[in-house]
Amino acid sequence: MKKLALILLLGLVSHSTSAADDIPEEINYLLQAIGSSECTFIRNGERHDSEAAEDHLRMKYSKARRFAPSSEKFIERLASKSYLSKKPYFIECAGEEKVPSGDWLMARLEEYRAKSP
């Protein structure tokens, strides 16, 4: 059983690495910003750590990238609410109020673009 779990984990890691190569730079930045934020991601009323949030949004992007031709559309269509329940996603960082994930991601995108030449 441990061997099977290890094989599955390695497959996911290698898939994540190769999948990142196909993701536009800005969207990949946003995904990494979520994953490294140490904030709590609230999806359908359940709290998830930042790494789980990044994994979930990477999976959504890999399945529905045709609906996200730009960073703004990625945020609006994939990273702001549940496709099934239509409930908004939220991000809650230590010492800060809970905010809609779309607002949090747009702020990160603006910061990224301000730093880019």
For 65-109, write each residue's pLDDT tens digit.
999 999 999 999 999 999 999 999 999 999 999 999 999 999 999
Contact present, 80 and 101 (Cβ < 8 Å): yes
Tell me the CA distances in angstroms from 97 to 31, 60, 90, one per residue in order: 21, 26, 10
pLDDT tier for residue 4 given thresholds of 50, 70 and 90:
very low
Task: Please tell me the pTM assigned to this model.
Answer: 0.80
For 26-45, write each residue's pLDDT tens digit.
999 999 999 999 999 999 99
At 26, the amino acid letter reads E
C-alpha span between 73 and 67 (Å, rounded): 7
